[in-house]
Amino acid sequence: MTTNNATRLLNSRKIPYQAFDLPVEKIGALETAQILKVPVGQVFKTIVIIREKSNKPLLAVIPGDREVDLKSLANKLGEKKVHLPTQREAEKITGLKAGGISPLVLIHKGFQVILDEAAMQYSEIHISGGQLGLNIRLPVSALIELTHAQLGSISKPSFGQNE
């Protein structure tokens, strides 16, 4: 099993989790869900978002079969606008490769985390483990506690569901 900052954090806090090794090629939430044999809505992806005014990044954690609703997220934050950076910008901001961006690895980097309220329909969700090919299933309550995530309705149906 892969050990990294995310798994060390979970171990040090005695949080129950299960790590899954997946293909290291960047795969989308749909393929991840198929491999893990779970609903795609239980596989959450972490999206880097930039505040328009302050240019400060934050993390939106949303179901794999949905996309960020930028307008709803901006309203939640009390911002006029937020936007998605390019993949290259997101990787530079986080220091992680797209597909491996995880709120667990970025806890000490000061990112605000907004978790889509759809997570509350599950006791556990799957998120990236902070590197390509590592997926972690953990209790939703633990993710909220560790990341100080705020809940919000921040996603909308995605037309290209293989995100």
Question: Which structural domains are found in the chain, ordered by start?
Answer: 5-157 (3.90.960.10)
Is 0.85 surpassed by the pTM of this model? yes
Strands, E, within the chain: which ranges?
18-21, 44-51, 57-63, 66-68, 82-83, 112-116, 124-128, 134-139, 150-152, 155-157
Alpha-carbon distance 44 to 40, whole Å? 8
> φ, ψ for residue 11 (rounded to 5)?
-65, -45
pLDDT of residue 160: 57
Measured from the Cβ of residue 59, the count of other Cβ atoms closer than 10 Å reads: 23
Cβ neighbourhood burial of 38 (10 Å; 0-12, 13-18, 19+): middle
- Which tens digits make up the pLDDT trace of 106-141? 999 999 999 999 999 999 999 999 999 999 999 999
Q: Which of 77, 65, 23 is nearest to 161 (CA)?
A: 65
pLDDT of residue 1: 64
Alpha-carbon distance 75 to 65, whole Å? 22
> φ, ψ for residue 124 (rounded to 5)?
-135, 150
